[in-house]
Structure 1
Amino acid sequence: MGTHAATMRVRAGVRSSPLLLHAGTPPTAAAAESGMRTLVTGSSGHLGEALVRTLRARGADVVSLDSRPSRYTNIVGCVSDRALLRDVMAGVEVVFHAAAHHKPQLAFLPRQAFLDTNIIGTQTVLDAAVAANVRAFVMTSSTTVFGDALTPPADQPAAWIDESVTPIPKNIYGVTKASSEDLCQLAHRNDGLACVVLRVA
C-alpha cells in the first residue's frame, strides 16, 4: 500500500491541509469515475451534503446516513448503531465519514455526546467498514485538533503546521477528533483499511 506525500506547509488558520493519506488512488475520484457504492455519513450537515451532491453529480452510487433527515439523507440513524451500520455497509466500497458533533455545539451539548458520536461512532463505522472489506475510508477531522499548537512562538508571526506537529487540543471537540484520527490509524495498521484523514478548517 503506497503512502502519498500529502503534507501542505500552511500558515495556521489560513487554509486546511490534507493529512494522513494512505490510499493508492484518491477515493473521491475513484468512487465517482467507477460508480462505486459510496457511503456518506453526516449527510445532513454542510460538508456531508456537499459530498453527497458532488458525488452524485459525478455518477457515484451514494448511500447517505445522518441522525437528522434531509433531502440528501436516505437513511436516518445513528453512527454508533452497530446493527444499522452492518446493514448500511453492505456492498459499500468507499466511505466518507463526516458525521460528528462540532465545535459550535460545545455551547449546549454535554461532553458525553461528543464521546458517543465522535469516538464511539467513528469506531463503529470503522469496524463495519473493515468487516465489509471497504476499499477506502475518508474521515473529516478539523484543524481544531491542533489547539495550543497553533500559538506561534514569541519571535514568529505565525505557527507553521504540517503532519509532524503534535496536536494539543483545548476542548472536548478537539480531543475527540484527535482520538478519531488515532482510530483511523489503528484501522490502517491493524486491519489494512486504506484511510485518509482530512483536517479541514
Structure 2
Amino acid sequence: MADVYRDPRLRELTGASVLVTGGGGLVGSRIVAQLAACGAVPIVLDRFDAYPQPVRDLFRVDRHGARVVLGDVRERATVKWLTGRADYVIHAAAYADVAACTRRPDTAFAANAHGTQTVLDAVVASPVKRLVFVSSAAVYGDGTPAGDGVVRFSEDRPLNPISVYANTKLWGERQVRLMLGGSGTACSIVRYFSV
C-alpha cells in the first residue's frame, strides 16, 4: 500500500467517490483497482459487452468494492445520476477497436463523441471536482521517423489523427477543454500508448 502513496496528492482520493466510465474494460478495470488501492470508492459504469464473459471475469471490478452499474454513457439520466454522486470522474468509456471504428464510423461517433458529450453535460451540472479524459496517442498520427528506424512521438508535435478512432479522441479532448475550461471543474487529458 505504501507505493500507492508516493504522490501525496493521491491521499485526496481516500474516501472519495470516483465514477469510472468504461470501468469494466481493459483500461478501466485497472484504473478501478488503483483507485481502490488509494482508498477511493469506485463507481463503475459499463455496458460489459466489449469482451466475452471469460475475459470480463479476469477483470473482476466487483472485487474492489466498486459499485457496478450496467449502462451506457449515452444514457443521460444514468450519467447525470452517477455524476451527482461522484467527487471525480474518469471517462474511459470508448469504442476502441480502431478497425471497427473505420468500418462503422457511426458507431464510433455515437459511443465516443455522443457519449463524451453526455458525460461532459452531466459533469458541468454536478459537483464533480475533476474530470480525467482518457484519450489516445493515436491523436499524433504516425509519429516522426527519427532516421534510425525508430518512430518518435512528442507532446509538442502537431496532432494528426489518421483514423476515425483517433479523430473521435481528438474531438473529445477539444470538447473537454471547451466545456470545462473556466467552469470550476478541473480537467486532465491522458494519451495512452500501446495499451
How far apart are the structure 2 equivalents of 1:61 and 1:157? 45
Please say if residues 27 and 94 of structure 1, whose CA atoms lie closer than 8 Å, have aligned partners that are also in contact. no
Comparing both structures, which one devotes a greater share of its residues to helix?
2
In structure 2, the residue matched to 1:198 is 190
Taking structure 2 as the reference length, the TM-score comes to 0.78
In the alignment, structure 1 residue 29 sits paired with structure 2 residue 10 = yes
Residue 135 (structure 2) aligns with: 141
Q: Among residues 129, 138, 155, which one is paired with 1:163 in the alignment?
A: 155
Q: CA deviation at 1:43?
A: 1.1
User: Which residue of 30, 37, 58 corresponds with 1:50?
Assistant: 30
Distance 2:161 2:102 in 1: 19
Identity %: 32
Deviation at 1:28, TM superposition (A): 7.5
Tell me the alpha carbon deviations over residues 120-151 of structure 1, each in whole angstroms, 9 at most, x when there is no partner: 11111111111112101111111111114x13
* Structure 1 residues not aligned, in runs of 5+: 1-25
Residue 113, structure 1, aligned to residue 107, structure 2: yes
**1:87 aligned partner:** 81
Partner letter of residue 10 of structure 2? A
User: Which residue of 56, 61, 72 maps to 1:72?
Assistant: 61
Kindly provide the amino acid, as one letter, of the partner of residue 177 in structure 1: K
Check the 8 A contact 2:101/2:165 in 1, yes or no: no
Q: In the TM superposition, what is the alpha-carbon distance from 1:116 to its structure 2 partner?
A: 0.8
The equivalent position to 1:188 in structure 2, one of 177, 180, 187, is 180
Which residue matches 2:145? 152
The SS at the match of 1:182 is helix
Q: Secondary structure of the equivalent of 1:191?
A: coil
RMSD of the TM alignment (CA)?
Answer: 2.5
Count of residue pairs the alignment pairs up: 173
Q: Deviations over 1:68-109 (max 9, x none)?
A: 175426101110111111111122111111000113452785
Q: Deviations over 1:41-82 (max 9, x none)?
A: 101111100111121132111111001175426101110111
Is 2:174 aligned against 1:179? Answer: no
TM-superposed deviation, 1:162: 3.2
Higher relative contact order (CA 8 A, sep 6+): 1
- 5+ residue gaps, structure 2, are 1-6, 50-55, 63-67
Residues 152 and 159 in structure 1, CA contact (< 8 A), matched pair in contact too? yes
**TM-score, normalisation: structure 1:** 0.76
Contact preservation (8 Å) 2:84, 2:127 = no
Partners of 2:9 and 2:30 lie apart in 1 by 12
Write the letter of the residue equivalent to 1:151. Answer: T
